[in-house]
Amino acid sequence: AKKNKGNNICFYSEKIAQQHYRNKDIENHLIEAIEQGELFTAFQPIVSVQPGKPVHFEALARWKSKSLGNIRPDEFIPIAESTPLINSITQVMTRNTKLLLELSKHRRQPIGSISINVSARQLTCKNFGQTFLQWLDEQNIDSQHICLELTETQAIENYQQCLDQFMFLRSQGIKISLDDFGSGFASTNHLLDLPFDIIKLDKQLIRCIDKNTRGQALVAGTIEMAHRLNMTVIAEGMENFEERQTVIDLGCDYLQGFLIAKPLSLGAAASFSQCGPSQ
Ligand code: C2E
Ligand code: CA
Ligand code: CA
Ligand code: CA
């Protein structure tokens, strides 16, 4: 048994070392990837529970690397988040958002807003708000079209700074949503200080919600609180009809998930309508 234990330790430290090199490799390649346009954006529809309302979209980063293959955002985003590269990714997302707005100009029904993910850490940088607004300006994007989805992957270090940026962005007409609510990191106490426009119920919470009565109580309570605070609620990660019916019955406002549509290419997003991917 003792011998086994030793082997395990050895195995784990080797794993940690491998992980370290993989992360370094990704970080180094990411710099070039951004310059050479290897990053692109998938757009996932967010639809109202009421028919006939404009479709919104969430912009999701994708990376097809020539040397490393397809890398999932769950892998490269946390690495980018610990460096200034995360801001370059946000800038790429902003440019691609412009492309979707342009392509969607002549739709029968105009699209709603497009959500861009930012980590809370980006907001602790004191000129993030100004910089982001400048990117919108360069692309000639009306701030009314933009929503920022705030994810907290680490505890916020400089809370006051974050609060200032938040209030500034909101004063410029940008909507802000609290992402991943009901998962580990998105905590309720932010709701006391930060006037979010939207709460996104995390996909872990929505999974099998039709069979989870405790989850239903949590979702019902969250929706009640959100509406009292004039916030809109989006349920993400909807995969089947039972889950959809349950969150609709509980009073949710918007739906997102594979049941509605997977994240789409630029062209497919521009022609998406609620009845199907093409009109
Ligand atoms: P997220 O913000 O929670 O985005 C939703 C994730 O759920 C996306 O994964 C989406 O593809 C996936 N998803 C949507 N519907 C379903 C469903 O019905 N079932 C399941 N199982 N999954 C569903 P994705 O695209 O792999 O992105 C992962 C995470 O990476 C995002 O989670 C977000 O936190 C981060 N991310 C992606 N793009 C960016 C970005 O440009 N900036 C930052 N800071 N983070 C980003
Ligand atoms: Ca998100
Ligand atoms: Ca989310
Ligand atoms: Ca997430």
Per-residue pLDDT of the chain (279 residues; tens, 9 = 90+): 445 555 666 667 888 888 899 899 999 999 999 999 999 999 999 999 999 999 999 999 999 999 999 999 999 999 999 899 999 999 999 999 999 999 998 888 889 999 999 998 899 888 999 999 999 999 999 999 999 999 876 667 778 888 899 999 999 999 999 999 988 765 677 788 889 999 999 999 999 999 999 999 999 999 999 999 999 999 999 999 999 999 999 999 999 999 999 999 999 999 998 764 433
> How many angstroms separate the CA atoms of 246 and 251, rounded?
9
CB 260 within 8 A of CB 273: no
Q: What pLDDT does residue 194 have?
A: 87
Find the residues whose C-beta lies inside 6 A of ligand 1: 44, 60-61, 72-74, 77, 86, 89, 93, 117-119, 149, 151, 179-180, 203, 236-239, 257-258, 263
Residue 74 CB burial class (10 angstroms; 0-12, 13-18, ≥19)? exposed
Q: What pLDDT does residue 4 have?
A: 56
Q: What pLDDT does residue 202 have?
A: 95
Q: What pLDDT does residue 185 have?
A: 63
pTM: 0.93
Which residue, judged by its Cα, is nearest atom 41 of ligand 1? 61
CA distances from 242 to 50, 108, 117, 198 (A): 17, 31, 28, 23
Return the CA Rg of the chain. 20
> How many angstroms separate the CA atoms of 201 and 234, rounded?
6
Q: What angle do CA 276, 180, 204 make, to 5 degrees?
A: 75
Q: Which residues contact 63 (CB under 8 A, 6 or more apart)?
A: 30, 33, 38, 39, 40, 70, 71, 73, 76
Q: State the distance from the centre of ligand 2 to the C-alpha of 279, rounded, in angstroms.
A: 26
Amino acid sitting at position 107: R
Residue 55 is classified by DSSP as P
Q: What pLDDT does residue 108 have?
A: 84
Q: What pLDDT does residue 276 have?
A: 44
Six-digit token pair at 131? 């910089």
Q: State the distance from the centre of ligand 2 to the C-alpha of 121, rounded, in angstroms.
A: 15
φ, ψ (nearest 5 deg) of residue 244 = -60, -50
User: Helix, strand or coil for residue 203?
Assistant: helix
Residue 270 CB burial class (10 angstroms; 0-12, 13-18, ≥19)? buried
